[in-house]
Amino acid sequence: MGALRFLNMLTWRRAPAGGGSHFQSLPMPFGKMLPFNKIPAPSTIGKAIVAALLIGSISACGGGGTSPSIPNPPPPPPPATQSIVSVFAGIPGATGNVDGALNTAQFNSPQGIVADAAGNIYVADTDNFTIRKISAGTVTTIAGAPGVAGWADGIGNNALFNGPWLMAVDAAGNLYVTDQGGDMAAAIIRKITPAGQVTTLTNPATGQAIQTDGGGAIAVDSQSNVYVFSSTPTQPSVLVQITPAGVVNTIALTTTAGTPLALVNPQALAIDSANNLYISDDDLTGNAGALYKVTVNGVNGTVTQLAGTTSVSGATDGPGSSATFDGLSQIALDPAGNIYASDYNNSTIREISPAGMVSTVAGIAGQTGLYPGAQPAPLPDIGALLWLGQTLYATDIDDNVVLGISHMP
């Protein structure tokens, strides 16, 4: 099992100097303006001087004849599109499990974030051990007991979570949550129905809870097949499919040239409308990063490397493997097939086009903090990403809020 990034491993969190929140306010300079009623009126002498100057100008132009017109300069080009970061839900720096309006609700290290077909948003509130729902401008708790860690199936707050992490949702509105183990060696998979019933996915062949490779990545396709990464005696991380009947299949990955592909340190999964999978994979220390597209056919998966590499770290934009990442982490897709990725150690969000062109769309490499407003500006540590409507949502695990990033280029 490679290096993993999740909340309770403090080595993956960068606290600001002196502690406290990353939330900062940027001063907005304003020029001094003279009150309208204080503008002095022109004197009689001043009026006479202006009139004389005008008469002299007319005479110099030939007694008021027509002079060649000077065309107005062309209007300036419109400003380039700038992403705008705002706090969507929660109070920056506050810690709690408070339901209510978006600007009064409180979270405690939110991570996973997904949305159902109706546009309801769900957040895995990791250190509250709960699942939160955001709908119609209100935050509620739908599963788990605030402040109580454990493993117990049940309905609503009778169910217990040990560390809800990342999430996926199927077409029927069922949520799937990776739940961290007590020793953090693996995570199990919990299912939450729209009625709030929480169960644990088990392998019918063993009767035991299905465990991940230690990471929290999870995705579900249009047929309600669930995908996670698991471990085998010979491979630390393999792609696994769990069918609705509970059958566990290992997906054999090969490149387009037919060469077997071994994942190094996979971090995240996403899936598009055609059931293609996308995998972010880092090096063993959680640096660098490659983005793969996987076409699944039965128990086989054909892999195309879209961008980056697991052998070189950096923050270079550009096409394909010439682009570099430093800790490629959580990913989300928009309807056009663009992939948005949290470049964790760079503290940026990168966009990867369907053709593999990489660009930086938010954040400044090497700078961390919460600065609401126009980009470029530093970003906090991102827990997970969600594209919904025209907005990219991100959980901010440093400041205990959910961010909205609009006007994406």
Q: Is residue 30 classed exposed, middle or buried when 0-12, 13-18 and 19+ CB atoms within 10 A define those classes?
A: exposed
Per-residue pLDDT of 255-311, as tens digits, reads 999 999 999 999 999 999 999 999 999 999 999 999 999 999 999 999 999 999 999
pLDDT score of 31: 33
Give the global pTM: 0.82
| pLDDT over 70, % of the chain | 79
What's the pLDDT tens digit per position in 325-360? 999 999 999 999 999 999 999 999 999 999 999 999
Residue 122 · residue 116 · CB < 8 Å: yes
User: Do the Cβ atoms of 192 and 160 come closer than 8 Å?
Assistant: no
Q: Tokens 């020029």 label which residue? A: 31
Confidence (pLDDT) at 183: 62
pLDDT at 358: 98
**Residues comprising the chain, all counted:** 409
Q: How far is 29 from 7, CA to CA, in rounded Å?
A: 37
The 8-class DSSP code of residue 112 comes to E
Which is nearest to 219 in space by CA: 156, 168, 264? 168
In this prediction, residue 81 carries a pLDDT of 65
- Give pLDDT, residue 14: 32
Cα separation of 404 and 395, whole Å? Answer: 9
Residue 409 has pLDDT above 90, yes or no: no
Phi and psi at residue 365, to the nearest 5° = -55, 130
Place of tokens 């493997």: 321
Beta strand 248-255 with 265-271 is unpaired
The per-residue pLDDT for 71 is 52
Q: Averaging pLDDT over each range in 45-49, 66-70, 84-88, which range is the top one?
A: 84-88
Q: For 245-313, give the DSSP string.
A: T--EEEEEEEETTS-B---SEEEEEEE-TT--EEEEEE-TTS-SEEEEEEEEETTEEEEEEEEEESS-B
DSSP conformational letter for 206: T
DSSP 8-state class, residue 12: G
Are 401 and 88 contacting, i.e. CB atoms less than 8 angstroms apart? Answer: yes
Cα distance between residue 198 and residue 312, in whole Å: 41
Verify cis geometry, omega within 30 degrees of 0, for the bond prior to 376: yes
Enclosing H/E stretch for 346: none
Q: Is residue 237 within 8 Å of residue 286, measured between CB atoms?
A: no
Q: What is the pLDDT of residue 74?
A: 58
- Which residues have a Cβ under 8 Å from the Cβ of 346 and sit 6 or more positions away? 315, 325, 326, 327, 363, 365, 366
Which of 155, 151, 223 lies closest to 193 in space, CA to CA? Answer: 155
